[in-house]
Every structure is written in C-alpha cells, then in structure tokens.
Amino acid sequence: MRNSIEFEVYGPYALFTDPLTKLGGEKMTYNVPTYQALKGIVESIYWKPTIMYIIDEVRIMNQIKMESKGIRPIEYGGGNTLANYTYLKDVRYQVRAHFIFNPYRPDLAYDRNEHKHHNILKRALKAGGRRDIYLGTRECQGYVEPCEFGTGKGYYDQIEEIPLGTMVHGFNYPDETGRNQLEVRLWNPVMKNGIIRFIRPDECRNVRVLQKIGTKTFDSSNMESADLLWEQLNEGR
C-alpha cells in the first residue's frame, strides 16, 4: 500500500483503558489495543499536522495476560488514595498503517511532499521513534522496530474468530474532521486468526459528541516543512 509502514511494538506492560472502569478511579485495560492507541504510537514515531495516519490492521502476537497492581495516583490537592489498575502483561503486536495528506488542512499544502515524509517516517522507525513510545499510558514504556507484517508465529493464529464486544475506536478532532467538536467513535471489532482489521474513522457509524473545541494553528512560523527537516536529517547523518 502507498505510504505504508509495518512495525512491531512491544513492552512489559500496556494499559488501553476501558473508559467504563474509570468512573470510580480504577482503570482496567481492554484485551487489545484500540485504533487510537496505535495511531498515537505511529504519531510518536513521526508526525506532522500535514498528514493523517490510517491504521489498517494489528496482529496480536502474544497470549493476552493481565496483572493487577495497587497504584497511588498523583493528587495535586493532597490525599493518599490507593487505586487498582489492571494491565496487559508482556505484549507484542505487529501493526500495518499508512498515511494520507490531511484534507482539512489546505493551509499546509506547501508541506505535502509525499516522498520525503515517507522516507523520514521509515528512518524514524529504524531509530525507535522521534518521541517516547507508550503502550496506552505513560507508565507503560514501549519499543518499536520495523518488521514484515504476518511473519513469525502468533498465539492466536489458529483461532478463527474472537468477538471483542463494544470498544472505543478512537476520537475525532477538529483538525481531522473539519467540525469544531471532539467526538468519540465506538465499534465492535472481531479478531480473526489473531488479526484485527480496522474500519476507517469515517466508516464508524456510532459517533458521539463530547465537547466543543477549536482547531490548532500550524504554519511556517511554528512548523518545519518536510523539505527543511529532510535537509537537517541528511546533514546529521
């Protein structure tokens, strides 16, 4: 696929929080990563507001295992609360994604250099990402490296189908929809032979408005173009 990237992401723990469990201060992870979590990982590898990432599919490599921990959340107003967080343990995923140019940012058309963005993305992946990789939450450090999607043995390769119920697919931000509101998308994924194939954000029919927000401002005064960034990377080779 054009402008595609394939990588493996792994770590000792992950927490892809089910929002229903946060009401009482507790946190419990989904069994698998959400579209939004994987999109955040790719954006940590390399991101510019000029481009939008589409997560195509994820392959669950390791057995789904969980571990609960007693956590003391930071309370800026004081307090000594003990909460119970349930994490995924020893996670490893293969991810396939690609990028398109953001149609809702015509003001950034000057930065639409497809070849250079793709090459910077691949170079950033080989380096482990331009920013720290987190598996759902900041305390869950992750690591990325290039891979060929579908290679190696996955724990669920021989299991034909596992319905995963209703999950958060992701969030719609004004920069990516043209609407001045934050929205949440829900869907019902099914894992087939260890692989979850994501529908695109614009294909989600269960969308709910959370709040009104505005778009972020990006221009040449606060953003490096792909051409300039490419030159800097080659100079630092």
Structure tokens at 153: 């043995």
pLDDT band at 227 (very low <50, low <70, confident <90, very high): confident
Integer Cα distance of 99 and 117 in angstroms: 9
Q: Helices 226-235 and 114-126 sit at what angle, rounded to 10 degrees?
A: 40
Q: What pLDDT was estimated at residue 236?
A: 66
- Residues 134 and 114: their CA atoms lie apart, in Å, by 27
Question: Which one is predicted more confidently, 109 or 149?
Answer: 149
Give the chain's largest Cα–Cα span.
52
> Any idea where the domains of the chain sit in the sequence?
4-235
Using the predicted structure, report yes or no on whether residue 174 has a pLDDT greater than 80.
yes
Q: Which pair of tokens denotes residue 164?
A: 């995963």
Local confidence band at 218 (pLDDT 50, 70, 90 cut-offs) = confident
Residue 224 main-chain phi, psi, to 5 deg? -80, 140
Q: What is the mean pLDDT of residues 207-232?
A: 79
Phi, psi of 192 (to 5 degrees): -120, 120
What average pLDDT score do residues 108-137 get? 94
If you average pLDDT over residues 155-160, what whole number do you get?
A: 97
Q: What pLDDT score does 237 carry?
A: 60
Of the candidates 235, 3, 1, the residue with the CA atom closest to the CA atom of residue 113: 3
Q: What is the mean pLDDT of residues 35-51?
A: 95
Instruction: Note the pLDDT of residue 215.
Output: 79
Task: Give the pLDDT of residue 6.
Answer: 98
Q: Are 42 and 95 in contact (CB under 8 A)?
A: yes
In this structure, CATH architecture of domain 4-235: 2-Layer Sandwich (3.30)
Q: Which helix (H) or strand (E) holds 4?
A: strand 4-14
Higher pLDDT, 221 or 127: 127
Sign of the alpha-carbon dihedral angle for 176, 177, 178, 183: negative
DSSP letters, 42-104, are: HHHHS--TTEEEEEEEEEE-S---EEEEEE----TT-----EEEEEEEEEEEEEEEEEEE-TT
Mean pLDDT (whole number) for 33-56:
96
Query: In the structure encoding, which two tokens stand for residue 222, read together?
Result: 């606060």
Question: Residue 169 — very low, low, confident or very high, per pLDDT cuts 50/70/90?
Answer: very high
Q: pLDDT value at position 124?
A: 95
